[in-house]
Amino acid sequence: MKSNTSTVDLKQTLELFLSYWKWILLCVIIALMLGFTHLRYTDYEYKANATIKIRDEEQSQKLPSLDDVKTGGLFSGGADKIKDEIRVIRSREIAENIIKKLDLNIRYYADGKIKEKEFYKNAPIKINFYESDSIIDRISQELFIKIKSPTQYLLFNEKEQSVFDDREDTDGKLYDFGEKVDTPYGGFYIVPNDGKYAPKTGTNIKIAIIPVRKLVNLYTKNVAITTEKGSSVMGLELKETVAKRAVDYLNELIKEYNNDVLKDKEEVVKVTSDFITNRLQKVSQELEEVDYTAEELQKRNNLTALGSQADLNLQANKQLEQQIVSTSINIEKISYLQEEIKAEGRSSDMLPADVGIGDASTAQMIASHNELVAERNRILKNSSPKNPVIINLNDQINAIKSNIERSLSNMKQTSELTLNNLNKENSRIRGQLYAAPTKARQFRDIKRQQDIKESLYLYLLEKREESAIRLGMYTPNAKIIENAYSSYLPIAPKPTIIYMASLILGLMIPIGIIYLIDLLDSKVYNKNDLTSILDVPYLGDIPKTSKKQKLIKRVDYSPKAEAFRIIRSNIDFILRDLKDQQKRLFVTSTKAQEGKSHTSTNLASSISFSEKSVLLIEMDIRVPKIIDYLGISEKPSKGLSDYIVDNSIKPQDIVVKHPENKFLDIIPSGTIPPNPSELLMSPRVAELFKYFEKKYDYIVADTSAVGLVSDTLLISEFADLFIYVVSADNVDKRRLVSIAQPLYEDKRLPKMTMLLNGVKPGKKGYGYGYGYGYGNNPNRKKKWYSFS
């Protein structure tokens, strides 16, 4: 049963929606038109993509361990580095450089039949400013131009409406192409394009100047960067209204990022190169002084022939002196590096790298120091010195610098101690040699100084060349896997999705409104509505017809006539126990205007058409309507109320014969009394029913509305069956439950049944045009479009 009930409910819901198909179709058409308008006037959006790989120089110089591979990939240890690189790519400085380089803050539009057409490359005109970029980059302005001829154009006041509105040429000011235009934000001049891109006469053009700051915010937010865990590959994505502009931006973004990384690397080399150059100048001067001193000594003391003798004398001491020279050079290098660290007013915090001091740990600390300085400088471009990350990096830099200073101091002390020991050993060995002439000793001292200065000079020259070579060997940090590309097909709005959304919206809005109204509606419309709230026998229902067709006819094929025939049969079935007895049918309702009199009149007529004698009594003596329904022109002078009041009036005196139906008699209500309830309590009412007990097959009584007055309850004892009329789309369910159901349960109305009146075809009712009648009306004319 639940399955059948659900099917019926679903069918009724569908019938409800289908009954409003015209409104739903109208909403769908309007929604599709709105979708079409949106597609016609909206700006299409395109997407560009690029793929790069971030090189990790430190990672590439060593093989990954097994633990590295197990924890998510060869590049998983550089997750923080990837995040840092993403922040650099999103930096405002890089975005600003790209916008200025590509002139993205100046855009050109031409009017079209539907919407503006934007030019990205090869615009008909180009604007050039005399002022500096710092002024132009901050303004927000729109210029409206109309091409008058190949050499002249009209410039309109910026305060006027859009260029695409109708305007008079007299509102603009005429300029020649190339002529200077003075404005509050500086002068500019406009030049035309040539060839097929030359401006056409009469064309309206808008030049939009956008603040660079605004575009920086836009592009840094719109560039999407994706990467996978453990991978150094990045995907770049940008959505734009012009596909070529998105492609150019991504390509330029990769270039600017690589240039930014190369600048950091070059800064380390530059600091080292400057350090070596400064030391070369000093060493060159010192070497020149030593050479000059040696030359003067040889000239003054004639020491040109002492070479072979010196070699013999110093052969035993050669190895010792080499050590002295090496140690002295190392002390000099350490001293130079200490001076550089303590020097004030340096242009950079970078320290010279790989100066050959002979200590691997110190060299590693210098390299770490420079890396931290480079990282701090890169983050400072997009942050402030108060950033916790910057403060942390500064603390690390200072700590490493202190360690470097202590290490150099210790190394210098150790080297000086070693040098002193070597000098002492050298003096002891020279003391064992035969005494050398004072001149030879002086020359040997000078020669030693020459060797030291010359070796240091050659070493610095070598390091300078290495720095120059290293500078040329640096490669970009981002390897391009895929250059920026675009399908040049719009990604938004998509017509299929827009039309589908419009269709769904056009369906859902009216259906939702209909469903909501139906959900809040508490009226009765069909049999299911009535039987679901009342546990009362259901007699039948009457379809709603036009007001002109009030009464059914003897020969009638209308759904209304068929409905009353069915009700007549149902009544006979219910009262089958009263075969040879008179059947008294009382008709009532909850309130007025529910079709009670209409039902009484047509039911009496339908029974009479079966050649059963029927007496129709108008017992609603407050608001009588039956005489009007029957169309009896002569108003009877006496009626039911007159009979009850006047004992001299006999029952047969108030009976009115129907002029066209010999089986139907009527007792009108009579004079409307001031006390109808008291009248109906009179014993004369019982006498009336007893009198006509054997004279008619059926008595149909039209009584008062039981929900308004108590008249009906006073005469309910005379009824064999009560027909409780409920008007569709007229009575609240809650009122029915509170009035009709207690009457049935308390048996105050004998054999009470429910009749639903005025059921509308379609919507929440039934399709009565198809529900009643098997045969065709023989008098009906067949329509031209009918096939049978």
| C-alpha span between 328 and 415 (Å, rounded) | 8
Q: Report, as an integer, the average pLDDT of 526-536.
A: 88
Measure the CA dihedral 337/343/345/350, to 10°: 30
**How far does Cα 764 stand from its chain's mean position?**
39
Radius of gyration of the chain (CA): 55
What's CA 551's distance to the chain center, in Å? 62
Residue 83's contacts (CB-CB under 8 Å, 6 or more residues apart) are none
Range list of β-strands (E), 354-423: none
Where does the pLDDT of residue 62 fall: very low under 50, low under 70, confident under 90, or very high at 90 and above? very low
Residue 593's pLDDT band (cuts 50, 70, 90): confident
**Taking a C-beta distance cutoff of 8 angstroms, is the pair 111, 204 a contact?**
yes
Q: What is the CA 133 to chain-centroid distance, rounded?
A: 36
Determine contact, residues 570/755, Cβ cutoff 8 Å.
Answer: no
Tell me the backbone φ, ψ of residue 125, rounded to 5 degrees: -135, 165
Q: Which residue has the higher pLDDT, 121 or 567?
A: 567
pLDDT in tens, 323-350: 888 888 888 888 888 777 777 666 677 8
Structure confidence at residue 156 (pLDDT):
86
Nearest-CA neighbor of 598 among 563, 617, 557, 626? 626
Span 462-479, average pLDDT? 68
Q: For residue 714, what is the enclosing H or E element?
A: helix 711-714
**Band (303; pLDDT cuts 50, 70, 90):** low
* Measured distance CA(536)–CA(531) in Å, rounded: 7
Above 60 in pLDDT, residue 503? Answer: yes
Residue 370 CA, distance from chain mean position: 45
Helical (H) or strand (E) element with 31:
helix 21-41
List the structure tokens of 692: 């006509």
98 has pLDDT over 90: yes
**Cα torsion 621, 565, 767, 548: sign:** negative
Above 80 in pLDDT, residue 76? no
Sheet holding 224-227, edge to edge: 224-227, 233-240, 46-54, 478-486
In this model, does residue 211 exceed pLDDT 80? yes
**Using CA atoms, how far apart are residues 655 and 617, in angstroms rounded to an integer?**
9
Q: Quick check: 185 and 139 in contact, CB under 8 A?
A: yes
**Residues 561, 565: Cα–Cα separation, whole Å:** 6
Q: What tokens does 501 get? A: 């959304």
In this prediction, residue 775 carries a pLDDT of 43
Q: In the prediction, which pLDDT does 767 show? A: 46
Query: Could you give the CA distance from residue 363 to residue 367 in angstroms, rounded to a whole number?
Result: 6
pLDDT of residue 773: 47
Q: Reduced to 3 states, what is the DSSP secondary structure of residue 588?
A: strand
Cα 463 from chain centroid (whole Å): 59
Name the pairing type of β-strands 106-110 and 538-543.
unpaired
pLDDT tier, 473 (very low <50, low <70, confident <90, very high otherwise): low
In whole angstroms, what is the distance from residue 5 CA to residue 12 CA? 10
First to last CA, the chain: 38
Determine contact, residues 244/120, Cβ cutoff 8 Å.
Answer: yes
Q: What is the pLDDT of residue 71?
A: 47
Q: Assess contact for 641 and 654: CB atoms under 8 A.
A: no
Burial class (CB in 10 A: 0-12, 13-18, 19+), 597: buried
Q: Can you give 56-115 as a three-state secondary structure string?
A: CHHHHCCCCCHHHHHCCCCCHHHHHHHHHHHHHHCCHHHHHHHHHHHCCCEEEEECCCCC
Joined tokens for residue 625: 């309507």
Q: pLDDT per residue over 712-749, tens digit each? A: 899 999 999 999 999 988 888 888 899 999 999 999 99
Q: Is the pLDDT assigned to residue 31 strictly greater than 90?
A: yes
Query: With contact defined as beta carbons under 8 Å apart, do 560 and 777 qualify?
Result: no
Task: Please give the torsion angle defined by the CA atoms of residues 603, 608, 611 and 614, in that order, rounded to the nearest 10 degrees.
Answer: 110
SS3 string, 269-293, reads: HHHHHHHHHHHHHHHHHHHHHHHHH
Q: Is it the case that residue 570 has pLDDT exceeding 80?
A: yes
Going by DSSP bridges, is the β-strand pair 172-176/152-156 parallel, antiparallel, or unpaired? Answer: antiparallel
Query: Which of the pair, 548 or 48, is modelled with greater confidence?
Result: 48
Distances (CA, A) of 774 to 245, 287, 541, 571, 586: 74, 131, 18, 21, 30
β-bridge partners, 478 = 54
Strand-pair partners of 154 = 146, 174
Q: Are 614 and 582 in contact (CB under 8 A)?
A: no
H-type helices in 433-548, by residue range?
Answer: 438-473, 495-520, 527-533
CB atoms within 10 A of CB 681: 15
Is the model's pTM score more than 0.85? no
- pLDDT > 90 fraction of the chain, expressed in percent and rounded: 35
In angstroms, the CA 330 to CA 338 distance is: 12
Kindly report, residue by residue over 387-413, the tens digit of the pLDDT: 888 888 888 888 888 888 888 888 888
Nearest alpha carbon to residue 477 among 84, 754, 766:
84
pLDDT digits (tens, 9 = 90+) for 637-684: 889 999 999 999 999 999 999 988 999 999 998 888 888 888 889 999
| Cα 773 to Cα 788: distance, rounded to the nearest angstrom | 16
Could you tell me where the DSSP H helices lie in 92-195? 92-102, 133-136
Which tokens hold the place of 20?
A: 């409003």
Arithmetic mean of pLDDT, 603-625: 92
d(CA 131, CA 38): 41
Q: What is residue 260's predicted lDDT score, i.e. its pLDDT? A: 83
Residues in the chain, total: 788
**H or E element that contains 339:** helix 318-342
Whether 525 shows a pLDDT value over 70: the answer reads yes
